[in-house]
Amino acid sequence: MKYILVVNTGSTSTKMAVFCDLQQVFKAGVSHGTAELAPFSDILEQKQFRKDLIVRLLAEHHFELKRFDAVVGRGGLLKPVQSGAYTVNEAMLRDLSLGVSGRHASNLGGLIAYELAADYGIPAYIANPVVVDELDEVARITGLPEIRRKSIFHALNQKAVAKRFAADTGRLYEELDLIVAHLGGGISVGAHKKGRVVDVNNALDGDGPLAPERAGSLPNAQLIDLCFSGRYTREEMKKLLSSGGGLVAYFGTNSARAVAERAAVGDVRAQLVYAAMIYQTGKEIGALAAVFGGRVDAILLTGGIAYDRELIDRISAMVGYIAPIHVYPGEDELTALAENAYAVLSGCEEAKQYQ
């Protein structure tokens, strides 16, 4: 039996779980309010605070670090990588600390996993970070040579759901052509062609459909005017697109459920904006169907918003003609991380080395 400790550091939460092989035997999560995180001026300053929290939870439930076979953390904003599990090495620790592709709480996952494992000689891993990059070269090209499209998306959950669907249907992920839409605080829609995500919107920077926290793709000229209006600094504009747009910008909340409830009781503005989020998601799925020449094995809908049955029905009405639709609501990132670590420990896969 292999015991695996899983650590998932989010912007406003710290989650952890203990797995015996692929069976979850313990799970805990703590939400962090704005006031609690206010003393930390930088993400890295939160590392010891979150690490101490995990150590305390383990001790309270009588788990000893030395009994684990591996610790796996959520992958952060690294340089572009292939999909899979990675050993946390010196190069990764450096880039997570420097924030080579940005500073986000997910950067703490690999750092904390390494520190928890180091004292006992246990391997530390990350798996399928948001910077997984399998794009076809043609998908990178924009109308300006100075700008190339980046692959930043919900790789961990998209890959896990795609492989789960393959297992559920008795096929191999590498044999299938799938469109996977992760519906969460950001919305990413990926074209999974025979095991590679060959095209996907950059869900971190706000590209693609408007989402609970993301502005989505915007008219270029109006966006330029807003950037030079004097109302926002460069950093404020970035934050507006990635965490202050979408439902937050319209309603001051990132809760899709709250906006759906307002729409249900007759709030006309909520009805229109929520419908626009659904419309843009369906349109993104439809656009990716062209990547496969319309020959798609299945469309998979996942993420927290996928619990909204009406939203699923309305997206299905738009794109159901393309391929059968399967729904995997929620985002079980802890299990997905454990699955990747277990594949390495059991010898089914080899951990990659980050360069």
- Going residue by residue through the chain, which has 355 residues, state the pLDDT in tens, using 9 for 90 and above: 999 999 999 877 899 999 999 999 999 999 887 788 889 988 899 999 999 999 999 999 999 999 999 999 998 999 999 999 999 999 999 999 999 998 888 999 999 999 999 989 999 999 999 999 999 999 999 999 999 999 999 999 999 999 999 999 999 999 999 999 999 989 999 999 999 999 999 998 879 999 999 999 999 999 999 999 999 999 999 999 988 999 999 999 999 999 999 999 999 999 999 999 999 999 999 999 999 999 999 999 999 999 999 999 999 999 999 999 999 999 889 999 999 999 999 999 999 999 9
Q: Quick one: 341 and 323 in the same domain?
A: no
Residues 101 and 192 in one domain: no
Whether 107 and 163 share a structural domain: no
pTM for this one? 0.93
Look up the domain containing 309 and give its range: 155-329
- Within this chain, do residues 15 and 159 fall inside the same structural domain, yes or no? no
Backbone angles phi, psi at 246, to 5 degrees: 60, -135
Tell how far CA 74 is from the center of its chain: 10
- With respect to residue 172, please indicate whether it lies within any of the assigned structural domains: yes
Q: Are residues 28 and 109 in the same domain?
A: yes
In a domain, 192, yes or no: yes
Nearest to 155 by CA among 124, 192, 123: 192
Quote the CA–CA distance of 55 and 48 in Å, as a whole number. 10
The answer to whether residue 316 is domain-embedded is: yes
Would you call 45 helix, strand, or coil by DSSP? helix
- Is 187 contained in some domain? yes
Within this chain, do residues 311 and 348 fall inside the same structural domain, yes or no? Answer: no
Please give the Cα distance from 183 to 160 (Å, whole number): 14
Same domain for 162 and 291 = yes
Cα–Cα–Cα angle for 147, 149, 153, rounded to 5 degrees = 145
| Residue 110 located in a structural domain | yes
209 within 8 A of 280, measured Cβ to Cβ:
yes
Do residues 325 and 340 both lie within one domain?
Answer: no
Q: What's the domain count of the chain?
A: 2
Tell me: do 226 and 348 sit in the same domain. no
Are both 320 and 177 inside the same structural domain?
yes
Specify the CATH number for the domain of residue 24: 3.30.420.40
- Strands 177-183 and 3-9, sheet pairing: unpaired
Residues in contact with 172: Cβ distance below 8 Å, sequence separation at least 6, in sequence order: 166
